[in-house]
């Protein structure tokens, strides 16, 4: 993997840490401030919004990244065309969403959601402009600038929420903060590019839309998969407190998802360029090295969260949310599989084999639908978590087999075995550690230290890995 890709990934992951800090201060603070019932309302609105936003945050976004990575001279023209398409589409979508608000509230058996659904429609045009702005920077591999704009969005949202709560406003104002934050981030982006001019013309709007549609279908499936469970919980279990518990489990489970999914930000433009140059060995190199580092960082994180789920919930939300701990221990594995599935799917997008991932995603959607329909009435919250985990495992298994056929030996067997051994040893030592209060942080650090030490002993990690990390940090 070239140093520039590693450096880009470093910037993206570092910014994601600070972005997630703002997001989870938002969620953990609201969870404690509002209580399970009102926090459940926020969770439902954000899940609905996630389903609608996917038409704006994905599809055209990935195509803009891909087109600009392959043709930098036409970058500004590509961006201008995409911005026009995105703005028109977002205004239409916002209007439809607003008009359908009463229907959605009735389907969820809660008419009190109506005003909040209507307010959230305002977010769509602003978030669409923010999305295309990020795509422009990512396509040009300006990951440092993209990271800065993203941080402006995350921390502005937290700032506006704090101001509104201080002024005495509650749910409606909290949702409106997303609109204001996206607008501020978009304005900062425009200040950054104000002197950049159009170089080569680009007018293939039809081609952009043709490629974007299957990617939108793919991301529709992904967002449905990670939000279907809570919608089933809301529809079939009429207790707001239980929805609040489930929302807290989802929020914690999405910590590794939101962190590791950012690897697609750097992977997509680099693999797209290598594929456009017909450099298959380089494509395979990107795939193998990305997956190796992903597994080394992801698996111990999932393991720790699953082991200490109840303690993590108590630390993040307080003892009132303790029933969510058992749900989290199951759900976190579902998010592990969806992370792996998403990373591998990005590679298929980059090499122009989008239909493959669309079909696999549809398998996940259908399987989760029937699993939720059967398990939620029978097992409650745990049923939703199991439905998510089983369906995402099915999707990951299929895409892993297809990736192995397409790119040959994408993960070494020895790497998998060594990570498994390190996890088992880490599990053994976890029995002797305390996981409450400040001791929780110390215990987590110790477990990571044990895991990585074992990998060094087994020679999965070596001095070259350390040298690369040091180089990235010193040059950042």
- For 157-199, write each residue's pLDDT tens digit: 888 888 887 887 777 777 788 888 888 998 988 888 777 666 6
Q: Which two tokens stand for residue 9?
A: 């990934």
Question: In whole angstroms, what separates CA 241 from the centre of its chain?
Answer: 25
Q: How far apart are CA 320 and CA 289, in angstroms?
A: 42
Query: Is residue 155 pLDDT above 80, yes or no?
Result: yes
- Give the tens place of pLDDT for each residue, 445-468: 889 999 999 998 998 887 776 766
- Give the tens place of pLDDT for each residue, 392-440: 999 999 999 998 888 877 888 888 899 999 999 988 888 877 666 667 7
Q: How far apart are CA 165 and CA 184, in angstroms?
A: 19
pLDDT, residue 5, reads 63
Contact 255, 275 (CB under 8 A): no
Nearest to 298 by CA among 423, 390, 414, 384: 423
58, burial (CB in 10 Å: exposed 0-12, middle 13-18, buried 19+): buried
Q: How far apart are CA 49 and CA 329, in angstroms?
A: 26
Q: How far apart are CA 3 and CA 356, in angstroms?
A: 30
252, burial (CB in 10 Å: exposed 0-12, middle 13-18, buried 19+): buried
Q: How far apart are CA 97 and CA 113, in angstroms?
A: 13
Query: Is residue 1 pLDDT above 60, yes or no?
Result: no
Q: How far apart are CA 236 and CA 222, in angstroms?
A: 22
| pLDDT, the chain, mean | 81
pLDDT, residue 316, reads 77
Nearest to 295 by CA among 265, 263, 269, 327: 263
Query: Is residue 6 pLDDT above 70, yes or no?
Result: no
Q: How far apart are CA 5 and CA 249, in angstroms?
A: 33
Average pLDDT over residues 89-115: 84
Q: What is the pTM of this model?
A: 0.73
């Amino acid at each position: 993997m070239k140093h520039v890709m590693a450096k880009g990934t470093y910037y993206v992951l570092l910014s994601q840490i600070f972005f997630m800090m703002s997001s989870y201060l938002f969620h953990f603070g609201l969870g404690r401030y509002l209580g399970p019932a009102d926090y459940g309302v926020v969770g439902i609105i954000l899940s609905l919004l996630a389903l609608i936003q996917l038409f704006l945050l994905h599809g055209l976004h990935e195509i803009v990244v891909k087109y600009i990575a392959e043709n930098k001279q036409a970058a500004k023209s590509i961006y201008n065309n995409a911005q026009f398409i995105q703005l028109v589409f977002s205004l239409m979508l916002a209007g439809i969403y607003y008009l359908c608000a009463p229907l959605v509230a009735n389907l969820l058996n809660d008419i009190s959601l109506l005003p909040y659904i209507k307010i959230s429609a305002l977010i769509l045009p602003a978030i669409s402009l923010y999305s295309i702005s990020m795509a422009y920077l990512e396509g040009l591999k300006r990951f440092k600038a993209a990271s800065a704009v993203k941080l402006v969005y995350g921390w502005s949202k937290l700032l506006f929420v704090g101001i509104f709560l201080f002024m005495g406003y509650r749910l409606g104002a909290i949702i409106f903060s997303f609109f204001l934050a996206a607008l501020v981030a978009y304005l900062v982006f425009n200040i950054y590019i104000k002197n950049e001019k159009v170089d080569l013309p680009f007018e293939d709007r039809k081609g952009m839309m043709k490629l974007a549609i299957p990617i939108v279908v793919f991301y529709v499936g992904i967002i449905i998969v990670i939000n279907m469970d809570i919608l089933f919980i809301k529809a079939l279990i009429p207790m707001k407190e239980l929805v609040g518990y489930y929302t807290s489990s989802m929020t914690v489970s999405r910590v590794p998802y939101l962190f590791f999914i950012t690897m697609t930000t750097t992977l997509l433009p680099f693999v797209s360029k290598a594929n456009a140059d017909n450099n298959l060995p380089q494509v395979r190199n990107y795939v193998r090295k990305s997956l190796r580092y992903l597994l080394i960082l992801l698996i111990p994180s999932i393991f720790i969260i699953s082991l200490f789920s109840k303690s993590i919930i108590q630390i993040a939300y307080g003892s009132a949310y303790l029933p969510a701990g058992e749900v989290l221990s199951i759900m976190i594995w579902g998010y592990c599989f969806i992370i792996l599935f998403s990373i591998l799917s990005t590679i298929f997008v980059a090499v122009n084999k989008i239909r493959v991932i669309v079909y696999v995603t549809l398998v996940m959607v259908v399987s989760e639908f029937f699993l939720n329909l059967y398990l939620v009435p029978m097992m409650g919250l745990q049923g939703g978590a199991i439905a998510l985990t089983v369906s995402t495992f099915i999707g990951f298994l299929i895409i892993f087999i297809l990736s192995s056929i397409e790119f040959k030996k994408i993960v070494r067997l020895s790497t998998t075995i060594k990570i498994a051994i390190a996890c088992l040893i880490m599990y053994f030592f976890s029995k002797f550690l305390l996981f409450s209060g400040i001791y929780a942080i110390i215990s987590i650090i110790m477990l990571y230290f044990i895991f990585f030490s074992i990998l060094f002993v087994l020679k999965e990690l070596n001095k070259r890995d350390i040298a690369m990390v040091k180089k990235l940090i010193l040059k950042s």
